Amino acid sequence: MDGAHCGEYRLSFARFVPAPQVRSRNRFILEGVLPNPSPGLGLEGCRPVAQAWAALSTLEDAAERRALLDAPFFEGLAPGIPPVIHPHHYGDNPAGLGQVRVNMFMQAGIGAPNPWMLREFKLKRQCDATGCTLRFLPTTVKSTPRGDFFNLQNTHPLAVAFRDFFVTQVEALAVDDFNRFNYAVPDVFNAAQSSSMPTFGSVDDFLAEFDKTAAPTPFTDALQAERLRIGSPLTPRHLVARAQALSCGGCHDLSRGTELGGAPGVFPLAFLRFVQAQDILSPLPTPGPDSHYPLSPSLTTAFLPFRQQLLGAFLDTPALDARVVTTEGALAVQAGQPFQGTVTLENTGTTTWSDRGGLRATSLDQTADLRLSPGEAIHLGQRKTFVFTHTAPMSPGRTTYRWRLHRDGQAFGPPLSFTVDVPRGPRARGPAPTGW
């Protein structure tokens, strides 16, 4: 939600080898990450990109849609917004964002078996005394730890460390939403490749490895304790099943028909030949002028509708907006005495708040403005508590201090206020609250 970049955009290709090596094929996906053209704005910097994708939804003509797609991928949407297809967007950048993933049936050549291997590469520029060369370097497959890390019979220190780590991820995995449950896998635990074919062994099948040791075990006990702590009805096996569904091989095939527990239920995998986007034109057997590469029901009924909702919600969110979080009563303060107050706000707009970006709460009463600290950034959905010190009026009565949020001279959001009561007499009566 911080707008560090403007998303990942994929182009899928498939290379087929003629008979007799009919199963020797390689599918590869270019997964380019588009940098934010205005990173200081946060998500708001990505609005032109989001608007360009939303515009595709209104086009029925395939030729018009193709022309619009050429811009983000090959030309750039506008000055300052580079095209997706660029060497720096596939790993050759300071954050290492973007990659190329491959689905390969190429290991055994003619005849079976042909293990289906899934691997990941980064594009890197390597230089030496003779010059510089761009290379695709193999890297780990993300969110894909070795399956036998879930097997209690594996006592390797890395496997033990992974199981300890996995317990800390129960809350994220237990989210009762198919599109939102998740977990973070430190790269030290990720595997170099993934297989979606259980017939070649179970090392990539998390559930098969997990089931090799009957519960209860210290691992299942720890998972049980954590899920009880957060009040989740899921079993340890459900949690492992959800982790498998997030892996490379799991999302492609291993999780087909697997029970995930809770609202997600059975993983909705319904593929065309192990892939989510078909690489053979339809309709068969004789493709015509209206042929296309079909999408799986998993995409059309689960994944894509959710992403459409996210895109719509982003475009409907104002660039600048805020919500007042604290709504306590007046603070009792002695006349002429200093007091400390707080105002807590939530950023409900897509523009990141920062001192460098000119964000401040301007006083409407000729008192001090409220400012962010240098380097501080408040993104969409995050909160900021401003702390200030004032001196109470000398006269008894109620005084309200007021501010209005501004960014580069533009006012936005609701008015902010903090009220103090100065009682008659030398002392305030009763304990003074700490906030308003």
**3-state SS record for 312-326:** HHHHHCCCCCEEECC
What are the extents of the domains in the chain?
A: 1-139, 141-269, 322-422
Q: Which residue has the tokens 């973070």?
A: 184
Percent of the chain clearing pLDDT 90 (strictly above) = 64
Mean pLDDT of the chain: 87
Q: Which is higher by pLDDT, 285 or 267? A: 267
Question: For residue 254, what pLDDT is reported?
Answer: 83
Condensed to tens digits (0 to 9), the pLDDT of residues 352-397 reads: 999 998 999 999 998 899 999 999 999 999 999 999 999 999 999 9
- Residue 186, number of CB atoms within 10 A of its CB: 10
Residues 286-301, mean pLDDT to the nearest whole number: 78
Question: For residue 436, what pLDDT is reported?
Answer: 42
pTM over 0.75? The answer is yes
Condensed to tens digits (0 to 9), the pLDDT of residues 268-290 reads: 766 555 677 777 777 766 667 77
Rounded CA separation 345/325 (Å): 5
pLDDT band at 58 (very low <50, low <70, confident <90, very high): confident
Rounded CA separation 187/324 (Å): 39
Strands (E), 233-373: 322-324, 331-332, 338-347, 353-354, 359-363, 370-371
Question: For residue 216, what pLDDT is reported?
Answer: 92
Task: Give the tokens for residue 277.
Answer: 């986007």
Condensed to tens digits (0 to 9), the pLDDT of residues 311-360 reads: 999 999 999 999 999 866 688 999 999 999 999 999 999 999 999 989 99
Rounded CA separation 53/41 (Å): 20
Q: What number of residues does the chain have?
A: 436
- Indicate whether 164 pLDDT > 90: yes
- Class of CATH domain 322-422: mainly beta
- Residue 156, number of CB atoms within 10 A of its CB: 11
- Of 297, 155, 175, 159, the C-alpha closest to 243 is 175
DSSP string, 347-364: E-SSSPEETTTTEEEEES
Q: Which is higher by pLDDT, 38 or 27? A: 38
